[in-house]
Amino acid sequence: MAPYLSLPLLLIISVVISIAIGALAKTDQPDVSALNVMYSSLNSPSQLTGWSSSGGDPCGKGWKGIKCSGSSVTEIDVSENNIHGDIPYQLPPNAVHINLARNAFTGGVPYSISQMTDLEYLNVASNQLNGQLTDMFGKLPKLSVLLWYQGSVIQPLLRYLQNNQFSSTVNVLGTLPLEDLNLENNQFTGWIPSKLKGIDNLQVGGNSWSSGTAPPGMVKASNTGSGGNSLKGNSIVNGVAIAAAVIAVLVVALILLTFMKKRSSSSAHYLDGRFDEQLSQNRTFTPLVSDDQKELKHSSSISMKAFERSLSTGLKRQPSEPRKSFNDNEFANKVHSKRSTNPITMTSYSLEDLRAATGGFSAETINDSGGSSSEFMELVSGVSKLHHPNISELLGYCSEPGHPLLVYEFQRNGSLHDFLHLSDEYSKPLTWDTRIKIALGTARAVEYLHEVCSPSITHKNISSANILLDEELNPHLSECGLTVFYEDPSENLGPGYNAPECIKPSSYTMKSDIYCFGVVMLELLTGRKPYDSSKPRMEQSLVRWATPQLHDIDALAQMVDPALRGLYPPKSLSRFADVIALCVQSEPEFRPPMSEVVQALVRCVQHTSINKRLGGDLSASRRSDDSDSYY
């Protein structure tokens, strides 16, 4: 009898082991979603065997080019696969090694990479990339050195920027500890930071470097197309001269040896320390865009937040010494006593520097909100803790008496409202893919505020005007964490955004945020404003006009933004409309949580086939003004 019992027992054991192995191989859901979106946005290339646009287990099923550590995707290597299209805006958040080299990727490197804090290796060489080289790399502490060894030399990351079409200046590289840098055959302009001239293998040929007199801290570069450059040649000549001088000095050194031994080695460290301190006090944020860009605006209802589109241009950190003076006045004493256990680490800017960086804004015209200095510093502390790829990043603040200001990251493409509703010669229509991408990114930002932050944050001012677009048209939700200023959200939102329940300020909840987001989705769908008095009376309110038509296929096709020219997949359009209908329901309890909205929009992305019909080209979704400064 025993032999007959052993077979079922073995089967049971095998099943248990299989289940256990499957459980161990299960990939983290954020990584799965990111790879699903990546695969879909690249038009499901057949070269990526094992990949799927919906679900799957990359770590357990052996997706091509994917390696994992436990349940986290840590390596993506899709090099040499002839993959076309833009680099997806979302990548697995815990990736350490990404190799996209020798494909046909276009566009730029998505700024969302700046949130991948574990990233050590990024190879994008030999593609067709363009766009500006921003400060995204400087935000990643592990990315300054590439862990790729040749002999005993550590090769830095930025070796792999050559043979693309990156533009703007290379000032953003000046603070990185590089040993080997190849910037050949791009479209860089300006001068070379002095700190880079000491790199052993610096190659800068094939660019459009400035020929004029270099400003302080910069040196001129040769514009030849060769692999080397004048900096490298000068370094060799200088090296020979220095070597000869060293030999001559050796004779004198023998005489002074006894004296030198009496010198403390700490003196050299002191000089280095002074030098480092001087550098840190004089470091500036170098302009990445021209000074004549979009006009900065401030919200009259949020008097302390003077900049909605930020100031990444020409701002200088206040030196550490002057900041000590705050401890000598009543303002700083209040702040210090209240926040001493949780100091604010954000950069403090002087009002003078902000004026200079913005071309002389009139700070006197900013209304005083009446809040105390301690309340403002509480606000800075709270907002500085919000970190998400789709939320506007707070760079710093100004706390000078009478002029409390928040300084945000600059977003070149302005607001979604401008893109959709300003009819000017500089705007081109957003494609359907881009509209879904904007909706999904914004939804993820709201999901972060509602369901990740602790305590949860209600935005209270979600509108297309508060969704800013970067160079890649990724959305960044602004005014997050500023609810303290919204005594009556209906006054800030404007007509068309107010949820039915918001009769009084106290009735505004997270479900009201969902409603506002649904209105933004309607703007993306129809291209119309939330409220337009120029329309016939029955069409003035966008929600009232559109809601009855969202489930009627024929009517839906008629209400789609004419700028799309019919270039959208009907199935994706229908799913998008279904999400809107859920969000703008009149009863707040029937509106879904934002996490469900995110998942529904992910499915919209998965069912979007417009890229296949357009060849993956989203170039129509970019502004045409000053295009040379983008690519």
Mean pLDDT along residues 70-75: 92
Mean pLDDT of all residues in the chain? 69
Residue 148 belongs to a domain: yes
User: Does one domain contain both 373 and 434?
Assistant: no
Distance CA 564, CA 576 (A): 15
User: Does one domain contain both 356 and 442?
Assistant: no
User: Does one domain contain both 200 and 342?
Assistant: no
Q: What percent of the chain has pLDDT above 70?
A: 53
pLDDT tens across 509-529, in order? 899 999 999 999 999 999 999
Q: If you ran DSSP here, which 8-state letter would residue 370 be given? A: -
pLDDT of residue 26: 83
Residue 128 belongs to a domain: yes
Distance CA 165, CA 188 (A): 8
Where is average pLDDT lowest: 27-31, 104-108, 450-454? 104-108
Q: If you ran DSSP here, which 8-state letter would residue 196 be given? A: G
Strand 153-154, strand 149-150: pairing: antiparallel
Out of 203, 228, 253, a domain closes at: 228
Mean pLDDT along residues 459-471: 92
Residue 314 belongs to a domain: no
Helices (H), 291-372: 320-323, 330-339, 351-357
Confidence at 73, pLDDT banded by 50, 70, 90: very high
pLDDT of residue 523: 96
User: Does one domain contain both 324 and 175?
Assistant: no
- Both tokens of 407, joined, read 């300084």
Q: Which long-range contacts (CB under 8 A, 24 or more apart) does 86-89 make?
A: 86/41, 86/472, 86/616, 86/618, 87/124, 87/129, 88/34, 88/37, 88/38, 88/41, 88/42, 89/41, 89/437, 89/441, 89/472, 89/474
Largest CA distance in the chain: 98
Residue 292 belongs to a domain: no
User: Does one domain contain both 217 and 106?
Assistant: yes
With a cut of 50, say whether residue 598 has pLDDT above it. yes
pLDDT of residue 465: 92
Out of 384, 408, 432, a domain closes at: 408
User: Does one domain contain both 463 and 542?
Assistant: yes
User: Does one domain contain both 382 and 473?
Assistant: no
User: Does one domain contain both 466 and 365?
Assistant: no
Mean pLDDT along residues 117-130: 81
Q: What percent of the chain has pLDDT above 90?
A: 23
pLDDT of residue 181: 63
Rounded to the nearest 5 degrees, what angle is found at the Cα of 412, between the Cα atoms of 563 and 449? 90
Angle 570-583/432-447 helices, nearest 10 degrees?
30
Confidence at 397, pLDDT banded by 50, 70, 90: confident
User: Does one domain contain both 398 and 474?
Assistant: no
User: Does one domain contain both 403 and 420?
Assistant: no
The range of the structural domain enclosing residue 561 comes to 416-619
Residue 379: how many other CB atoms lie within 10 Å: 20
Mean pLDDT along residues 89-106: 85
The more confident residue out of 42 and 309 is 42
Q: How many domains in the chain? A: 3
Mean pLDDT along residues 458-480: 92
Domain containing 344 — which CATH number? Answer: 3.30.200
Nearest to 184 by CA among 130, 223, 231, 227: 227
The more confident residue out of 464 and 347 is 464
pLDDT tens across 565-587, in order? 888 888 899 999 999 999 999 99
pLDDT tens across 130-186, in order? 655 555 666 677 765 433 222 222 333 343 444 444 444 444 454 444 555 666 666
Distance CA 563, CA 313 (A): 34
Three-state DSSP string of 439-455? HHHHHHHHHHHHHHCCC
Distance CA 176, CA 179 (A): 9
Three-state DSSP string of 228-285? CCHHHHHHHHHHHHHHHHHHHHHHHHHHCHHHHHHCCHHHHHHHHHHHHHHHHHHCEC
Nearest to 286 by CA among 352, 215, 390: 215
Domain containing 198 — which CATH number? Answer: 3.80.10.10
The more confident residue out of 202 and 369 is 202
User: Does one domain contain both 398 and 429?
Assistant: no
With a cut of 90, say whether residue 594 has pLDDT above it. yes
Residue 389 belongs to a domain: yes
Rounded to whole angstroms, what are the CA distances from 473 to 223, 311, 419, 485?
32, 19, 10, 28
pLDDT of residue 421: 87
Residue 224 belongs to a domain: yes
Out of 390, 408, 426, a domain closes at: 408
Q: What is the pTM of this model?
A: 0.47
pLDDT of residue 108: 74
Beta bridge partners of 165: 130
Residue 385 belongs to a domain: yes
Confidence at 126, pLDDT banded by 50, 70, 90: confident
**Which of 192-201, 370-379, 397-406, 450-459 has the largest mean confidence?**
450-459
Distance CA 5, CA 534 (A): 82
Contact between 199 and 181 under an 8 Å Cβ cutoff? The reply is yes
Measured in degrees and rounded to the nearest 5, phi and psi for residue 403 equal: -135, 60
User: Does one domain contain both 435 and 354?
Assistant: no
Residue 478 belongs to a domain: yes
Query: Residue 179 burial (CB < 10 Å; 0-12/13-18/19+)?
Result: middle
Domain containing 541 — which CATH number? Answer: 1.10.510.10
